[in-house]
Structure 1
């Protein structure tokens, strides 16, 4: 084949064909090496070299530079126009947001070459420049750009410290590889804030045009505001938090104003090297990613500031209900998810260094749990036990229950991990809810056994004691509902699994409503818990109507054999079929698949049942609830009412495209039901076939 003169024309060799034979060079170099001696480049060990032969090392290809990737050398002291400096400052915000979105530092922040040349632009080490161009003053680099780059790295350092606490998962939620580049870990943030102020003073005292001064100062103030937010002790400085977030939002609106693009031949483009990972110790495959448009970056930064403000509302809202509502509603409303940094920060604020919200001892959670669930102060519950049993048994009961609910360092602790789980990523959050189902039922069993040993002296105390295990049941059923519904949101169910999922969901909702009706007589009517339980009874009733109706509408999608359906069911609901449940009281509703076919057949024989009217009734309930102020959730009233309106809209869409009665069900086209999470996370919508 080598003799074929046209064969080489079939191959396009990167870099062309003008190669130099280097075999003799390597042979000559090897003569001067001792046996078993190895020459390695920095950051690439013998283990890495051996692994490269076995699995393919992406860094082995990093040295090949294509012709279109060749760049002129970067000189950090190349003069910049004010517009170019503004462009680079905007790029710094873009790279920071890209890191928070999940990219590596080598793909984002470290692509700005100034962060690698900070000593080279330190004005203390530079001699004065002669014949300086007044349109391109050197201080734009040595004062303005240096201060901004220092602040960028310090923001990343403060975020990295929070992210590395283990609240979120490295690689899964964020990328923590620093590539041996300093994030100014030893530099005081107050010093950098002083440098930013100094840079702003230089700009304001300069001869630049007013528009240029405003543009540069706005970006410096925005960077200063972000750095102040990162370094803030939120538990002690909520007022400062409100101030900085307000200022930050105003600055974002100012810097997002459109401006003329820079020419392609501008020298500032050389300050960005998307292939910088080639020169850094890096354990990730080298990938070049495009930076989104600036409008999207400013939107992302605005969301970051909104989340910071929401953190302030959480700090000033010491309530399990409000925290849970804040965490769960962000998933239901398709909000742009909080960054991993903010999710880690919120989890730290919830509990850190033996204190809840930096102020309360864990026993406070115990008090909130009973008061917010069944409206009874913990002191009332203890008094009921003291009037029913000797103090020794009371102490034992308190120890067992408190250990399960609030002892945060135990693997079976409930409340702190539950609150934190609302800021896990969605799959991890769902897995945690699965584990909680068993833990809440174990607590129910403990409470039930202790209460059976008591002999209350009157009916009032008996009602108080009877309400305790129901509280645990309510929380268990809430987690069951969460697991089933998030399965739809994460598109886990096959078509034939959906009818069974809605059927089991309807059973869970039925039992949840029954628990609420059972406990309500024991709840003080003027307590916030009574109001919330009444709301939940109506809310769950609407969900139950929707789920029950969808069982009938989707039943035709079950086409597999019963053996296959049973196998899928056991795998899908293993979280509630755990053998540990066998030693506990029955966790109603038990997942009995054998009861599904007769229940479905009986339901389908009810020819008077109207799917469209059921959706209409559920819609009316939800519309009414959405018009009532949701005071129990405080700041998140608007979000909860929007959630209810979204549910009502889903009912309205289903009502328009579903049969008037089950007699028409054989003619219903199942393909018109489409599950589109962006339209609604849990329920289908009717589309034209």
Structure 2
């Protein structure tokens, strides 16, 4: 029936119908196999085969090549023009940036086919060419392209080594699968750097025009300097990396202003990119074919990538917990795009590695700076105060426990600012309990002491509050991050703002208790003074938003209660019950009365609250924050953005609560890219 001419048009088989029956061949081969013996292709295990039937493994179809996917065979020695080589070098940066953006190597770097043919373009293994085309000499491939490919792979190797330290998470933050392709792990980076230099020397002696030589050399030099940045000893020579990053950015700007035109459709350079290469590589992940972005997008990504090295250099020259805390938290507060996984891993490694902080300080440095920068009192003074007030000779073991607990808390806390946002939020949730346990420990230890004078008594009073300040700050960040990650349902938002206001109140009370006891000439005093005004503005904004969003609460109270317990389960940990109360306690039963009292306050004005908060924020933005150094500018930008958010809300906020029933809830819109936790007025 299939052979009937009337049915030919309905039975078109992909690839044609000239198949050969191999049934007898398979049967004959099976006779030679033992029972339960299985033949598997390289890189495909029995588990893979079983999974294919369960989940529809995409790799089963990887060998199928559609007509539009057919490509001519790739010859790595096909002659190329200098302009075509420039395009290939540009796309090598595209491949690298896409890997750092989260794609697999088989979707990015390995799609550049020259990386699979390095032995074939090694000039030491090739005979001399007798009739070489002067416009397309083979040396362009064997010297220039080869040097660039070696530089690309070595950069990926050095990045892979940092990324594999488990500071960031494979598959979640980056893709580490190498597909059995070498990243030049056994070749010294200095050798690759010299090969890049030799390629530039050859170009300068070539017959190409000055414009062509400059274009090619600029790209090779950019690769060389990028390689130097990966190799840089940031802890011992941060100034060199700053200089290299500045040079790389200048080269990038020059390349962008003299950008080359893409090759024509019939150019052999286009065959150097094969997005379907993954079907020929051993993969454990499903194959997904993706396109590389336009080159201008790549240059923007590379500019940001190089810029992060400059900020990392500023961080390692800033041995201050306040500065590291500001640098980490402000990137979330300003809604900036998350740094590439490589730099997030690098920052974490630089901060603490091999039991040293910033490569030079023992862990006691963390304890000293924790107290000095939080409450303005040195750890030495605290130890003396504890020794003078101890009722009996104090056991050193208690101090060791406190020191160890602070060190174990501070290292992951600082590092958490360079986690991805969801992981950072989960870490802070767990950290809230750890800070409260430290507070409870310090409180119990201090209560056993009898201070001989007022100065010692003041030091003892303020010691536990250091941990309390960090706990309340972490709690605030968890609540705010819920808005930034768009976790809250509409009816959860007024409750979140209410609890945020409660946390700000408790934080303000803690600061008011501590501030008079802190030396006024310390960065801790200036930071806490700033935080007092900042939290006051934050509390006013949160309270105003409780009134504006109260109309979202329409579900039954039982439903709201269940959601509340799930959302704030990190505060309902049974371990809290063994400790002193962690105020403010998240008691949803107090919310209805608090909301009722607020809505019945005839003197309360959401508009006036937002106006006052705006004025406080603008005044803070005009004040100096010199103790933050480089990140003073970022803090002022954060304050101005929050003031702008108040301005947007003022346009729609009622002047008093009598006008609240007429408030249109649809005028509120949460857009994290505009502000992480404040709504904007919907035009």
Q: Judging changes above 3 Å, is the alpha-carbon distance between structure 1 residues 650 and 16 closer, same or farther for their aligned structure 2 residues?
A: farther
* CA displacement 1:167-211 (0-9 Å, x = unmatched): 000000000000000111110000000000000000111110111
SS of residue paired to 2:394 = helix
What is the number of equivalent residue pairs in this alignment? 682
CA contact (8 A) 1:104 1:176 kept: yes
* CA displacement 1:553-595 (0-9 Å, x = unmatched): 1111011111111100100001111110000000000011110
| Cross-structure match for 2:343 | 342
Which segments of 5 or more consecutive residues in structure 1 lack a partner in the other structure?
A: 407-412
The worse-fitting range, judged by mean Cα deviation, of 252-261 and 435-444 is: 252-261
TM-score, structure 2 normalization: 0.98
CA contact (8 A) 2:432 2:471 kept: yes
CA contact (8 A) 1:121 1:142 kept: yes
* CA displacement 1:470-507 (0-9 Å, x = unmatched): 11100000000000000000000000000000000000
* CA displacement 1:67-103 (0-9 Å, x = unmatched): 1111111111111100011000001000000000000
| Cross-structure match for 2:460 | 465
The 2-side partners of 1:269 and 1:24 are apart by: 43
CA contact (8 A) 2:391 2:449 kept: no
CA contact (8 A) 2:390 2:449 kept: yes
Q: Judging changes above 3 Å, is the alpha-carbon distance between structure 1 residues 331 and 17 closer, same or farther for their aligned structure 2 residues?
A: farther
Alignment match of 1:498 (pick from 493, 498, 520): 493
Quote the offset at 1:118 in angstroms. 0.5
| Cross-structure match for 2:195 | 195
The 2-side partners of 1:394 and 1:519 are apart by: 27
Quote the offset at 1:394 in angstroms. 5.6
CA contact (8 A) 2:104 2:175 kept: yes
The 2-side partners of 1:215 and 1:533 are apart by: 53
Q: Judging changes above 3 Å, is the alpha-carbon distance between structure 1 residues 521 and 249 closer, same or farther for their aligned structure 2 residues?
A: same
TM-score, structure 1 normalization: 0.97
SS of residue paired to 2:623 = coil
Quote the offset at 1:637 in angstroms. 1.0
* CA displacement 1:290-309 (0-9 Å, x = unmatched): 11111111111111111101
Matched, 1:121 2:116: no
Matched, 1:209 2:204: no
| Cross-structure match for 1:579 | 574
| Cross-structure match for 1:534 | 529
Quote the offset at 1:671 in angstroms. 1.2
The 2-side partners of 1:394 and 1:458 are apart by: 22
* CA displacement 1:203-252 (0-9 Å, x = unmatched): 11111011100100000000000100111111111121111001010011
SS of residue paired to 1:393 = coil
| Cross-structure match for 1:163 | 163
Quote the offset at 1:393 in angstroms. 1.4
The 2-side partners of 1:287 and 1:388 are apart by: 67
Quote the offset at 1:5 in angstroms. 8.1
Quote the offset at 1:286 in angstroms. 1.1
The worse-fitting range, judged by mean Cα deviation, of 377-386 and 444-453 is: 377-386
Quote the offset at 1:274 in angstroms. 0.7
SS of residue paired to 2:607 = helix
CA contact (8 A) 1:386 1:394 kept: no
Matched, 1:650 2:651: no
Alignment match of 1:442 (pick from 437, 446, 451): 437
The 1-side partners of 2:36 and 2:432 are apart by: 58
The worse-fitting range, judged by mean Cα deviation, of 189-198 and 39-48 is: 39-48
The 2-side partners of 1:5 and 1:105 are apart by: 49
**1:273-352 correspondence to structure 2 within 5 Å:** 273-352=274-353
CA contact (8 A) 1:405 1:415 kept: yes
| Cross-structure match for 1:224 | 224
**1:427-576 correspondence to structure 2 within 5 Å:** 427-576=422-571
CA contact (8 A) 2:338 2:420 kept: no
Matched, 1:594 2:589: yes
CA contact (8 A) 2:263 2:269 kept: no
Alignment match of 2:658 (pick from 652, 660, 663): 663
Quote the offset at 1:13 in angstroms. 4.5
The 1-side partners of 2:581 and 2:4 are apart by: 80
Quote the offset at 1:336 in angstroms. 2.7
* CA displacement 1:512-565 (0-9 Å, x = unmatched): 011001001110011111100000001111110000011111111011111111
Matched, 1:395 2:396: yes
* CA displacement 1:259-289 (0-9 Å, x = unmatched): 2221011001111111111111111111111
| Cross-structure match for 1:678 | 673
Q: Judging changes above 3 Å, is the alpha-carbon distance between structure 1 residues 4 and 567 closer, same or farther for their aligned structure 2 residues?
A: farther
* CA displacement 1:424-449 (0-9 Å, x = unmatched): 00000000000110000000000100
SS of residue paired to 1:657 = coil
Quote the offset at 1:10 in angstroms. 5.9
SS of residue paired to 2:143 = helix
* CA displacement 1:18-51 (0-9 Å, x = unmatched): 4443333433443454444433222122332233
Over the residues paired in the alignment, what is the CA RMSD in angstroms?
A: 1.6
CA contact (8 A) 1:382 1:394 kept: no
The worse-fitting range, judged by mean Cα deviation, of 624-633 and 174-183 is: 624-633
SS of residue paired to 2:537 = helix
